[in-house]
Chain A
């Protein structure tokens, strides 16, 4: 059962426009959410995160919005640039349990293509 879902496998956006990538989760214990970007032949790189105590976090062109009641988060990229073309993964994490840190749970990713 997928706890983190990215229902759009791909998204195509024109350069300069807004890209909106969506992510839904089912586990209400998740309290920290991250977005990773992945280029071919590279590992995922951290992009932006948000704690469940916030509903918005902004870093330059990237903004993540969290709607806890809907168990939904989204990543906005404005303006989109051709270099943003990559696969974007949504990830979520629950609080640590006992002596163990809980791992990140990833969605399947959305491939963003920004067309010049």
Chain B
């Protein structure tokens, strides 16, 4: 167990729908990063939060949004889902030591 918890582990939904992925960082870690891994692709950075504030944005679609709550958990909202959004979504937290710890991911399948 890495200490970073992602739920759900698997999600199957239809095109056009909206889903929410949840991430709880390691205890004490203030930074949360979201990454998307599509088939045969590396991990693509989506967005970063630090202590509730958005700090960096990567290749995140306008249909996607995220937030980090006061208890430091983060949610990634994906709306108007398309087949191409099917991917593994990873959350990572980063602590004071600078190390990045990844959760086990959420596998999203859009049908």
A residues with CB within 8 A of B: 2, 4, 6, 9, 34, 36, 41-46, 89, 91, 99-109
Contacts and interface: CB of A to CB of B under 8 A. Distances in A.
Interface string B71-107: 0000000000000000000101010000111111100
19 contacts: A6-B42, A34-B100, A36-B102, A42-B104, A43-B102, A43-B105, A46-B101, A91-B43, A100-B48, A101-B48, A101-B50, A101-B56, A103-B45, A104-B33, A104-B100, A106-B44, A107-B42, A108-B40, A109-B42
A43 B47 CA distance: 17
Given A43-B2, A43-B4, A89-B43, A102 B102 contact: no
Interface in B44-68: 44-45, 48, 50, 55-56, 58
A105 B101 contact: no
Interface of B: 2, 4, 6, 31, 33, 35, 40-45, 48, 50, 55-56, 58, 90, 92, 94, 99-105
Q: Which 3 A-B pairs have the closest CB atoms?
A: A43-B102, A106-B42, A108-B42
Contacts, number: 62
Most chain B beta-carbon contacts within 10 A, residue among A2, A4, A89, A103: A103
Given A43-B104, A99-B55, A4 B42 contact: yes
Nearest to B104: A43
A99 B53 CA distance: 11
Nearest to A32: B98
A101 B43 CA distance: 17
A91 B48 CA distance: 16
